[in-house]
Amino acid sequence: MSTTQTDKIEINKVATSKINEVDFENLSFGSVFTDHLLECDFKNGEWQKPVIKPYAPFLLDPSARVFHYGQAIFEGMKAYKDEDDSIWLFRPDENFRRFNSSAVRMAMPEVPEEVFMEGLNHLLKLDHEWIKKGLGNTLYIRPFLIATGQGVVANPSDDYKFMIILSPAKAYYSGEVKVLIAEHYSRAANGGIGAAKTAGNYAGQFYPTNLANKEGFQQIIWTDDATHTKLEEAGTMNVFFRINDTLFTAPVSERILDGVTRKSLIDMAKKEGINVEVRPVLVSEIIEAVKNGTLKEIFGAGTAAVVSPISGFSYRNEYFELPKIENSIASQLKDKLTNLQHKLTEDPFGWTVKVS
């Protein structure tokens, strides 16, 4: 292992990379991690010096608050390599902003921009060989913050650990995605934590999603908790509905995550002249549209999932299959977005940021 110190960061490199053990053509999402990680502790009321070190398990006290009260947040981002071997991030400022707003909601300290951004840049440069060129190849970036303070008293921790780990990734979903519209379980409630990217929001979905899986559905479309009449998110994604030639998606709220892919697709679609309406989308109007043939597409949008077409949905034990369409809006937007992210086309929005 070799060590480099600056006054801002310490870098301890692995002696031997494990990259040659990885089959980059057959990656299952989020299961392989690069050689290094970034770690920065919060102790005695302040952030310590960030360290990049070999990826490895670490020790925590069994009473650490993260295990008992789920004081934990995360982000999902991606890095891309262009044809000239430059590394690019997509709207990292949006992830940084959302990370710290999740931290505030979970009574955690905000991570300084230089720890997050400069730490990430150093880490990406060190593990640059793990980012493969070509559409479909990405490096998924998982920044997270956990409460490490000891003691099972139910109040916020004094100590925290911020980390960034990196995982080479292809698509999150492969094959058809069929969804079930939620009628009983809820993902989020007004005044709750639905807009924060916090661990429990995802854990709370596992049980209802397992039940849906048993019925042959990959994901659930969550509805509002109070009336179950408004369509909100689809599993780990925001969700869009196309009726005739208009796209509809719910506005972000206390219950709905402010997705970076979601807001990018809205802007891209508008620029393409596609009519987009951001307003509550009712279950009843989707049922009416599927019955009268005007519901053309449903797709999910997220960093991991990119743009994921939904082939059909079930509501109150009735299954509705969507038409198979050539040149769907989902596929057009996905191509535009991934070409822009991989720097294969111009970026008129200024969303791509070079790692340097």
The vertex-140 CA angle with 220 and 301, nearest 5°, equals 35
Residues 54-73 touching ligand COI, rule: CB under 6 A, are: none
Between CA 308 and CA 50 the distance in angstroms is 36
Beta carbon of residue 174, minimum distance to ligand COI (angstroms, whole number): 14
Token digits of residue 165: 């780990």
Element (H, E) at 68: helix 65-69
User: Which residues lie closer than 8 Å to 120 by C-beta, 6 or more apart?
Assistant: 38, 89, 92, 141, 143, 164
Classify residue 239 by burial, with Cβ atoms within 10 Å: 0-12, 13-18, 19+. buried
Question: In terms of CB distance, is 304 or 355 closer to ligand COI?
Answer: 304
Report how many residues bind ligand COI under the rule CB under 6 A. Answer: 7
Classify residue 29 by burial, with Cβ atoms within 10 Å: 0-12, 13-18, 19+. middle
Instruction: Write phi, then psi, for 110 (nearest 5 degrees).
Output: -75, 145
Token digits of residue 252: 């972000």
Token digits of residue 221: 């479309």
Q: Measure the N-to-C terminal CA separation of the chain; round to a whole number of Å.
A: 24
Which of 304, 333, 337, 340 is in the footprint of ligand COI by CB under 6 A?
A: 304
The answer to whether 236 contacts ligand COI (rule: CB under 6 A) is yes
Binding part of the chain for ligand COI, among 264-272, 296-304, 318-326, 338-346 by CB under 6 A, reads: 296-304
Residues 199-228 touching ligand COI, rule: CB under 6 A, are: 202
Between CA 259 and CA 208 the distance in angstroms is 22
Question: In terms of CB distance, is 50 or 259 closer to ligand COI?
Answer: 259
Binding part of the chain for ligand COI, among 100-108, 185-193, 219-227, 298-306 by CB under 6 A, reads: 298-306
The answer to whether 198 contacts ligand COI (rule: CB under 6 A) is no
Beta carbon of residue 305, minimum distance to ligand COI (angstroms, whole number): 6
Question: In terms of CB distance, is 303 or 341 closer to ligand COI?
Answer: 303
Amino acid letter, residue 176: E
Residue of closest CB approach to ligand COI: 76
Tally Cβ neighbours within 10 Å of residue 144: 17
For the chain, what's the residue count? Answer: 356
Between CA 94 and CA 98 the distance in angstroms is 6
Measured in whole angstroms, the distance separating CA 168 from the mean position of its chain's CA atoms is: 14
Question: In terms of CB distance, is 36 or 197 closer to ligand COI?
Answer: 197
Which of 76, 92, 168, 309 is in the footprint of ligand COI by CB under 6 A?
A: 76
The answer to whether 302 contacts ligand COI (rule: CB under 6 A) is yes
Which of 205, 249, 303, 341 is in the footprint of ligand COI by CB under 6 A?
A: 303
Binding part of the chain for ligand COI, among 8-16, 56-64, 181-189, 299-307 by CB under 6 A, reads: 299-307
Between CA 203 and CA 198 the distance in angstroms is 9
Beta carbon of residue 237, minimum distance to ligand COI (angstroms, whole number): 7
Beta carbon of residue 93, minimum distance to ligand COI (angstroms, whole number): 16
Beta carbon of residue 202, minimum distance to ligand COI (angstroms, whole number): 6
Question: In terms of CB distance, is 255 or 296 closer to ligand COI?
Answer: 255
Beta carbon of residue 89, minimum distance to ligand COI (angstroms, whole number): 13
3-state helix, strand, coil in the chain (%, to 5): 25, 30, 45
Question: In terms of CB distance, is 71 or 303 closer to ligand COI?
Answer: 303
Beta carbon of residue 155, minimum distance to ligand COI (angstroms, whole number): 27
Beta carbon of residue 306, minimum distance to ligand COI (angstroms, whole number): 9
Element (H, E) at 43: strand 36-43
Residues 252-281 touching ligand COI, rule: CB under 6 A, are: none
Residues 120-159 touching ligand COI, rule: CB under 6 A, are: none
Token digits of residue 240: 């869009």
With beta carbons less than 8 A apart as the criterion, state whether 167 and 33 touch: yes
Beta carbon of residue 103, minimum distance to ligand COI (angstroms, whole number): 16
Which residues contribute to the site for ligand COI (CB under 6 A)? Answer: 76, 202, 236, 302-305
